Structure 1
Amino acid sequence: MQIRFNQLGTTLILLTGVAVCLPAAAQVSPAAAVTGVVRDVQGVAQAGALVQVMAAGLDVPRTTFTDIHGRYSIANLIPGKYAVQASAALFISTSKDNLQLHPGKWSVVNLTLATLFDTSAWLPAERRKSDEPGDEWKWTLRSSANRPMLRMADDETGEATSVLTSSSATETRRDSTQARATFTSGDGGFGHGGTHSVLAQGRELADGSELMLRMDVGTPTEPAGVGPSTEVEVGFGRKLGYGGAVRTVVSYQGHPELLSSGGTTNGIGVTTFQMASAEQIALGDTVKIEVGSEVYAVKAVGTAMGADPFFRVAVQPSENWTVGYRMATARELQSFGDLDAVERDLPVTVCAGSHMETEHGRHQEVSVSRKLGHGVAEVTYYHDAMDHPAVAGRSVLPDGEPVLQSLGASGFGVLQDPSTASFRFLASGYSAGGMNLMVSEPLGPGLWAALEYSTGSALSGRKVADGMSLAEASDQLYLASGQSATFAVRGRLIRSGTKLRAAYRWQPTGLVTAIDPYRAFSDQAYLSLAVRQPIHMGRLLPPGLEGTLNVTNLLAQGYKPFLSSDGSTLVLAQSPRTLEAGLSVTF
Structure 2
Amino acid sequence: MMRRLQLVSMIALFVVASSPLLAASGGSVSGVIRDSNGVPQMGAVVQLLRPDMSVLASAYTSSKGTYTFADILPGKYAIKAMGALFLPSLRENVRVRANTVVNLTLNTLYEVMQWLPAESRAANAPGDDWEWTLRSAANRPLLRWLEDGPLVVVSDRPGARPKLKARLMASGQEGTFGESGERFTASVEDTPSDSRELLARVDFAPDTDAGMESMLGFRQDLGFAGAVESMAAISIHPVVEGSGGEGLDEAAMRGSEKINLGDEFEIDAGAQQVMARFSQNSPNTILETLPFATIAWHGGNSTVSYRMATAPSVPNQDESRAGFYLPRVSMHDGQLALEHGFHQEIGWERRTDASGVSFLVFSDNTENPVIQASGRFGNNYGVLSDPMSGLMRAAGQSFSSAGVMAAVEHRVAGGNRIRVSYANGDALVMPASVHPTALSQVFSAAKPHHAQMYAISLSGKLDGTGTRWRASYRWQPADTVTSIAQYSVGAIEPYLNLHLRQSIGAHHDGLNVEALLDVNNMLAQGYRPYLVNGSMLVFAQDQRSIGAGVAFTF
TM-score bin (small chain)? 0.5 to 0.7
Shift of 1:205: 1.4
User: Within 1, Cα distance between the matches of 2:506 and 2:329?
Assistant: 46
Query: Could you tell me whether the CA contact under 8 Å between 1:463 and 1:477 is conserved in 2?
Result: no
User: How do 1:361-376 and structure 2 match up within 5 A?
Assistant: 361-371=341-351, 374-376=354-356
Partner of 2:485: 516
Match of 2:271 in 1: 293
Cα separation, 2, equivalents of 1:299 and 1:380: 36
Return the offset for 1:445. Answer: 6.8
1:562: which partner in 2?
Answer: 530
2-structure distance, mates of 1:342, 1:568: 34
- 1:88-143 CA distance string (max 9 Å, x none): xxxxxxxxxxxxxxxxxxxxxxxxxxxxxxxxxxxxxxxxxxxxxxxxxxxxxxxx
**Aligned match for 1:472, one of 434, 441, 457:** 441
- Contact 2:254–2:271 at 8 Å: present in 1 too? yes
Cα deviation, 1:259-281, whole Å, max 9, x if unaligned, reads 122xxxx1221111211122222
Task: Quote the offset at 1:549 in angstroms.
Answer: 0.9
Provide closer, same or farther for how the CA distance between residues 357 and 537 of structure 1 changes in structure 2, counting only shifts above 3 A.
Answer: closer
For residue 340 of structure 1, report the CA deviation from its aligned partner: 4.4
Retained in 1: the 8 A contact 2:312–2:339? no
Given the superposition, is the C-alpha separation of residues 214 and 279 from structure 1 closer, same or farther in structure 2, using an over 3 Å criterion? same
Letter in 1 for 2:212: T
1:443 deviation in Å?
A: 2.0
**Residue 234 of structure 2 contacts residue 322 of structure 2 at CA under 8 Å; is this kept in 1?**
no
Which stretch of the first structure deviates more once superposed, 551-560 or 365-374? Answer: 365-374
AA matched with 2:307: R
- Name the counterpart of 1:120: none
Distance apart, 1:288 and its partner CA:
1.9
Amino acid at match of 1:554: M
TM-score, scaled to structure 1: 0.62
For the Cα contact (< 8 Å) 1:381–1:434, is it kept in 2? yes
Shift of 1:478: 0.9
Question: Which deviates more from structure 2 when the two are superposed, residues 529-538 or residues 424-433?
Answer: 529-538
For residue 384 of structure 2, what is the aligned residue in structure 1? 415
Equivalent residue number for residue 312 of structure 1: 294
| Cα separation, partners in 2 of 1:523 and 1:347, compared to 1, 3 Å | farther
Distance 2:194 2:295 in 1: 28
Is the counterpart of residue 272 in structure 1 residue 250 in structure 2? yes
Change (3 A) 1:465 1:409: farther
**1:257 pairs with 2:225:** no
Counterpart position of 2:465: 496
Residue 303 of structure 1: CA displacement?
Answer: 1.1
Residue 544 of structure 1 pairs with residue 531 of structure 2: no
Amino acid at match of 1:280: K
Shift in alpha-carbon separation, 1:244–1:340, aligned structure 2, 3 A: farther
Gaps of 5+ in 1: 1-170, 221-225, 398-402
Per-residue displacement from partner, 1:349-392 (whole Å, max 9, x unpaired)?
A: 34544753211111111111234783111111111101111111
1:344 aligns with 2:313: no
2:311 corresponds, among 320, 330, 335, to 330
Partner in structure 2 of residue 99 of structure 1? none
Secondary structure, counterpart of 2:443 in structure 1: helix
Counterpart residue number, 2:226: 244
- The CA deviation at 1:312 is 0.9
Report the Cα distance in structure 1 between the residues aligned to 2:226 and 2:551, rounded to whole angstroms: 33
Moved more, 460-469 or 447-456: 460-469
Once the two structures are TM-superposed, the CA of residue 227 in structure 1 deviates from its matched residue by: 2.1
One-letter amino acid of the counterpart of residue 376, structure 1? G
SS in 2 for 1:344: helix
Alignment partners' CA distance in 2, 1:464 and 1:384? 29
The answer on whether the counterparts of 1:234 and 1:342 sit within 8 Å (CA) in structure 2 is no
In structure 2, the residue matched to 1:533 is 502
Structure 2 vs 1, CA of residues 307 and 435 (structure 1 numbering), >3 Å: closer, same or farther? same
Q: Is the CA contact 2:195–2:222 (under 8 Å) kept in the aligned structure 1?
A: no
Q: CA deviation at 1:197?
A: 0.5
Alpha-carbon distance in 2 for matches of 1:543, 1:339: 22
Read off the aligned partner of 2:480 and give its amino acid letter: L
Residues 340 and 242 (structure 1 numbering): CA distance in 2 closer, same or farther, change over 3 Å? farther
- Structure 1 Cα separation of the partners of residues 340 and 496 of structure 2: 27
Q: Deviations over 1:31-70 (max 9, x none)?
A: xxxxxxxxxxxxxxxxxxxxxxxxxxxxxxxxxxxxxxxx
Paired residue secondary structure (2:412): strand
Deviation, structure 1 residue 526: 0.6
Task: Pick one of 424, 447, 451 that aligns with 1:482.
Answer: 451
Alignment match of 1:210 (pick from 197, 219, 229): 197
SS of match in other structure, 1:330: coil
How far apart in 2 are the matches of 1:308 and 1:298?
14
For residues 318 and 222 of structure 2, what CA distance do their matches in structure 1 show? 17
Alpha-carbon distance in structure 2 between the residues aligned to 1:510 and 1:333: 20
Unaligned runs of 5+ in 2: 1-157
Instruction: Return the offset for 1:243.
Output: 5.3
Deviation of the 1:238 alpha carbon: 1.1
Aligned to 1:183: 170
3-state DSSP of counterpart to 1:558: coil
The amino acid that maps onto 2:204 is V
In structure 2, the residue matched to 1:385 is 365
1:229 maps to 2:215: no
Post-superposition offset of 1:543: 4.2
1:121 alignment partner in structure 2: none
Residue of structure 1 in register with 2:409 after alignment? 440
* Letter of the 1:409 counterpart: N
Q: CA deviation at 1:198?
A: 0.7
Partner SS, residue 486 of structure 2: coil
- Residue 585 of structure 1 aligns to which amino acid in structure 2? F
Higher relative contact order (CA 8 A, sep 6+): 1
Structure 2 Cα separation of the partners of residues 463 and 559 of structure 1: 10
The yes-or-no answer on 1:458 pairing with 2:427 is yes
State the 1:582 CA deviation. Answer: 0.4
2:394 to 407, 422, 425: 425
User: CA–CA distance in 2 between the matches of 1:247 and 1:293?
Assistant: 11
Q: How far, CA to CA, are the matches of 1:441 and 1:470 in structure 2?
A: 46
Q: 1:533 to 1:339 in 2, by over 3 A?
A: closer
- 1:581 partner amino acid: A
Query: Any conservation in 1 of the 2:178–2:210 contact (CA below 8 Å)?
Result: no
How has the CA–CA distance of structure 1 residues 217 and 455 changed in structure 2, closer, same or farther, with 3 Å as cutoff? same
